[in-house]
Amino acid sequence: MANREFPIPVRGISESLPVDKAAPLTSGYINNVRPIDVLERRIRIGQRPGLDKAFDQQVGGASSPILLITTVSIID
Amino acid sequence: MALRFEYYNTNDDSASGFFGATWRAQTFTTTVGFKITSVKLLVYKIGSPGNLTVSIQGVDGSNKPDGSDISGLSLTVSPSGYTTNTVGAWIEYTFPTTTELSATTRYAIVMRTASGDIDNRVMPRSDISSPTYTNGESLTSVDSGSNWTAVPSVDILFEVYGTPLIPLDKVYTKRLVVIGNNEVWYEATVDRLDELLDANGDIDVTKPLTAAEGFQKLFIANQTNLKVLDFINTKITTSNVGANPPDFGTVLTSDGSGSPSMIVDYITSLSSSCTIYGKRTTTVIFGNNETLTGTDDDGNAISFTTSAVEVAPPHWYNWTVFGSNATFGTMPSSAYLICRYRGRIVLAGNPNSPHQWYMSKVANPWNFVYSSLDPLSAVAGTNADAGEAGDIIRALIPFGDDYLIFGCANSIFLLDGDPVSGGSLDEIDNSTGIYGPWAWCKDGGGNLYFWGSGGLYKMSGGRGRPENISAGHLPKWVTDWAADPSTYRVVLAYDPSRNGITVSRTTLSDGTNLNYWYDFKTQGFYPETYPDACGPFCAHFYDADLAARRRTLYGCNDGYIRYFEDTAKDDDSGAGDTAISSYVAWPIEHLAQDDDKNGKLTSLTIELAGGGTGGDFGDTDGASYRLYTGKDAETVLEKMKATTAWATGTVYAVGDLVIYNSIEYICITAHTADETGPPFEEPDTNTTDWFPAAFSSATLSGTGRKARIRTRLRGAYFGLKFYNSTASETWSINNVFGEVKEAGKIR
């Protein structure tokens, strides 16, 4: 009979307390996961969403960082 | 209020020129009925083609143009001003009248020039590599439209605009503007960025820059490059503006056909030849050699003649005071911080006056005459009771029209109200500053977050005392990051759809990055890493017109804009996709209730997300797990975190941890790794010297509750790690539980 639940560390990383006394629901070793999963947007931990391109165009053509993005609203 | 109804505007990789008897056409099919107003084509020219005619025709039984321009839907223009750059530019052809097009009906955009040849022709950009537009096709005629031949392998890029058959409430459009590589790009059409060619080379990305929206323009502060991107004004030119130039707000009326009229916004000079930018208030446009008249603020008559046909926006020009004349004040010689506050454009970041701030006149970004007498006048720190900030300004953060925060190097100042009308500038914290102009963001509740000297801070309501919210979770964060503005950019971004913020440190030279997701619901921190190409250099929440496109955007190291997408299981890193390496360790627990005793984990049950495969709940892909044990918790964590790669020739001691082929190993016999192989006595085969650090491991596939795992894991402390680094996979877990028994004293 199962007698121990191992709670999912949905509260992220904690490095401020002893490893065996970490804050409840925290982890000492974690990367690229988020508490709200991408399948159902429920709090139960899962891999983070991936990064997708928003536009096909590469600003500047050559590989060069984008330094500013903003929006301007214009009356039609 | 024209809307885009039909379009194919992507994947252009060639051009389909036309001249003389060779005509081109692109058919399209309407989804709903609407009143067509214009079409747009992405075009450039070769040589000097003759006048261009764009028209709309119906189609015959073979879906080819029927040869008859629909009444009112034909426009002839001169292509003399077209770009010769083969990238092309979007040109809008606005028809003389609006005509209703029927729903679910095919029409043809027909293009031809009166004259020309192979060296003098108009070139509309096309997609010739398996185009995907399925509601029409491109066609060619070599006999001036009498007969047409379909070209299914080609689609000409186009957009069709019109007004709906019922009135709209929406009266504005939002455009994204992007800067990188000394270039300015903007969202000329939905889902597509085009370069503003006039701005090419005018921005210097080696100097810091920020920008602020105001009055349907974008004001850019790039140190000595103060620029305007104007989306609203019409541009007219004159070789002599006369003795009485127009003022800001002057109404000018032309004697041309239809009496076009405009409200003057900005003028480049108050005498001789100049350029005038103003909001045209008529649909009739300004032509060449028309006389404009009006009355200036002093009652003097204005009269001058245009020297060219008007030019439609967008425009790119230097930001100066009105008429570039000192009568209207003096702008700072250099600034890289900018925002809009209480109707004024605010500048700071002048390296010669790092504590100084400057504000334009209310609703007039061309007036910097500092005065304390007029409540609307321009104002600066040196002539206001509020005074200068007492520290080097690094960020300007407006909170509506209520207050403006100056994030400084070592302190935070708050300007309350209008500095000309009793506003005060107070230091609200001197224990931390703000790292830089991108190192802050606001959430949907008006709270401010920023990266400061102690980590991540929160200012409730934007004016409470800064609270360090990261120190309790990550006491070494600041030390580990060692963020230095000369080497790293720190970017904060609020994601309203996921209710949290990202905090990124990106290396300026190569895009390598370290990041955290801070979740508002759990108030937890989650480390993340992205491919170098995706290293964030800026971020912006794009509140797009279309709900499906509202998202937080990240300007990345490789010149692409990205966003987090739930359905993306990998990162799009440019040329291809990069698998996401994800892992999480469960809290390390003492197995037995008695701290002096070992425990035995006899079984483990795991429930993966998804219920039954293919059911209503989203299905997880597989995930792998590893079990660890040790006498103390830190030893267990060390086994999980082993990252030192095994290497030949290395001297290893008992207890050393290495990783080899993504598996952790612990040294059980002191030795020196062989250098004389192959084989090199690698850990996976050298069972004399190495032992897997994990007690056991396996990969789970499918969804829902998995078969019970029988295990004989015995030890004081137990560790569990889940991970997945497989391409095109994502995962989530519902439950983990097991059976534990006590098992003798710890020895």
| Chain B neighbors of A17, CB-CB under 8 A | none
**What is the distance between the alpha carbons of residues B299 and B415, in angstroms, rounded to a whole number?**
39
Identify which of A18, A43, A49 has the shortest CB distance to residue B522.
A43
Mean pLDDT of B621-636: 92
Q: Which of B39, B53, B50 is nearest to B4 (CA)?
A: B39
Q: What rounded mean pLDDT belongs to chain B? A: 93
Report the half-sphere exposure of B596 (CA within 13 A, side-chain side).
1
Name which of A38, A5, A26, A29 is nearest B626 in CA terms.
Answer: A29
How does pLDDT run across A13-60, given as a tens digit for each residue?
999 999 988 899 999 999 999 999 999 999 999 999 999 999 999 998
Say if residue B338's pLDDT is above 90.
Answer: yes
ipTM value, please give it: 0.97
pLDDT at residue number B524: 97
B335, pLDDT greater than 70: yes
Q: With a cut of 80, say whether residue B372 has pLDDT above it.
A: no
Give me the mean pLDDT over the B463-469 stretch.
92
Smallest Cβ–Cβ distance between B732 and the set A1, A45, A57 belongs to A45
Percentage of chain B exceeding pLDDT 70? 99
Which of B566, B573, B578, B620 should be substituted to probe chain A, the one whose Cβ sees the most A Cβ atoms within 10 Å? B566
Residue type present at position B29:
T
Q: Nearest CA to CA, how far is B78 from chain A (Å)?
A: 25
**Separation in Å, CA of B49 to nearest CA in chain A:** 29
> What value, to the nearest 5°, has the Cα angle with vertex B109 and ends B105 and B110?
135
Interface of B with A in 545-574 (CB under 8 A): 551, 553-574
Classify the phi-psi angles of B252: left when phi > 0, otherwise alpha if psi is within -120 to 50, otherwise beta: beta
- The residue-averaged pLDDT of B479-483 equals 96
The mean pLDDT value for B320-347 works out to 96
Is the CB of A44 less than 8 angstroms away from the CB of B717? no
Instruction: For the full predicted model, state whether its pTM sits above 0.90.
Output: no
Q: What are phi and psi of B462, to 5 degrees?
A: 80, 0
For an interface test with B, the pick among A4, A14, A30, A69 (most B C-beta atoms closer than 10 Å) comes out as: A69
Closest chain B residue by Cα to residue A28? B585
pLDDT value of position B77: 92
The residue-averaged pLDDT of B199-206 equals 93
Q: Tell me which residue of B700, B702, B728 sits closest to B611, measured CA to CA.
A: B702
For B65-97, b/e burial (b = at least 16 CB within 10 A) is bbbebbeebbbeeebeebeeeeebbbbebbbee
Cβ of A14 within 8 Å of Cβ of B581? The answer is no
Distance from CA of A10 to the nearest CA of B (A): 7
- Torsion region of B455: left, alpha or beta (phi above 0 gives left; psi -120 to 50 gives alpha): left
Report residue A75's pLDDT band, with 50, 70 and 90 as the boundaries.
confident
Selected residues 154-183 of chain B with any CB under 8 Å from a CB in chain A:
170-183
Residue B492 pLDDT > 90:
yes
Q: Is B339 on the interface with A (CB under 8 A)?
A: no
**In which band, very low, low, confident or very high, does the pLDDT at B1 lie, cut at 50, 70 and 90?**
low
Find, in chain A, the residue whose alpha carbon is nearest to that of B506. Answer: A65
- Confidence class for position A2, pLDDT limits 50, 70, 90: low
Q: Place B422 in a pLDDT band, splitting at 50, 70 and 90.
A: confident
Q: Is the CB of B603 inside 8 Å of chain A's CB atoms?
A: yes
pLDDT tens per residue across span B60-94? 999 999 999 999 999 999 998 899 999 999 999 99
Residue B639 is classified by DSSP as H
**Residue of chain A nearest B617, judged by CA positions:** A40
Reply yes or no on whether the pLDDT at B520 is more than 70. Answer: yes
Question: How many degrees, rounded to 5, is the angle at CA B131 between CA B184 and CA B26?
Answer: 90
For chain B, what percent of residues have pLDDT higher than 90? 80
